[in-house]
Amino acid sequence: MKKKAFFITLEGLEGSGKSSVIRYLESYFKAKGLSVIIFREPGSTKVGEKIRQILLDKANMELSKHTELLLYLAARTQLIEEQLKNTLVRYDVVICDRFFDSTLVYQGYALGLGAIVEKAVTMFSLKVIPDLTLLLDMPAKDGLRRIKNKDRIESRPLVFHNKLRKGYLLLAKKYPHRIKVIDADGRLSDIYKRVEKVLKNKFL
């Protein structure tokens, strides 16, 4: 595979504003005449969207931690093989709303599955690694406040979400060249400016 695309992933806590930043990124790159495609995780394939429903459905509270891990990995593998491999060759910019860092932080760090997650993520990410990961950082309770109907994961207690934030910041320290922390508190226009600064430093 001869990768042409710049591959960007968005990470962050629940309600951290990833969707708005993705819309901003799309218009930023399109204004430069670049082709852009956007995916979300889990999802963006027929099978992946079905897996997403299982994972987020509050009726499925009995899902075990390991089943949860395997379902996220299954959705990702399907996305990589069905979509990412092709689009990374054909498009200029590929954007993904969450990717393997979510698994490292949600299942590995906050659910405590640890080393097994690192191994599994390496194995099933099929050597697809983002060029840039924007981590939208804000206090967990502020993001959660924005969500009306909470899904299975969002309904977890605040300690879980606080742990996610800690896990993400640790990950950003481990991979400082790839993961850039964006302060996602405050006005959208200020957040976009912070994102633009990172993009300019990184490559454009």
> Which of 9, 78, 103, 125 is in the footprint of ligand TMP by CB under 6 A?
103
Contact (Cβ atoms closer than 8 angstroms) between residue 41 and residue 98: yes
Contact (Cβ atoms closer than 8 angstroms) between residue 79 and residue 56: no
Rounded to whole angstroms, the maximal C-alpha distance in the chain is: 47
Helix (H) / strand (E) element for 105: namely none
- Under the criterion CB under 6 A, does residue 161 sit at the interface with ligand TMP? no
Select the span of 59-67, 88-96, 100-108, 177-185 touching ligand TMP (CB under 6 A).
Answer: 100-108
> Which of 102, 135, 161, 165 is in the footprint of ligand TMP by CB under 6 A?
102
DSSP state of 136: E
Q: Which is nearest to 24 in space by CA: 12, 42, 36?
A: 36
| 85/152 with CB nearer ligand TMP | 152
- Under the criterion CB under 6 A, does residue 42 sit at the interface with ligand TMP? yes
Distance CA 4, CA 92 (A): 6
> Which of 97, 120, 134, 192 is in the footprint of ligand TMP by CB under 6 A?
97
Question: Rule CB under 6 A: which residues touch ligand TMP?
Answer: 14, 40-42, 72, 97-98, 102-103, 106-107, 153-154
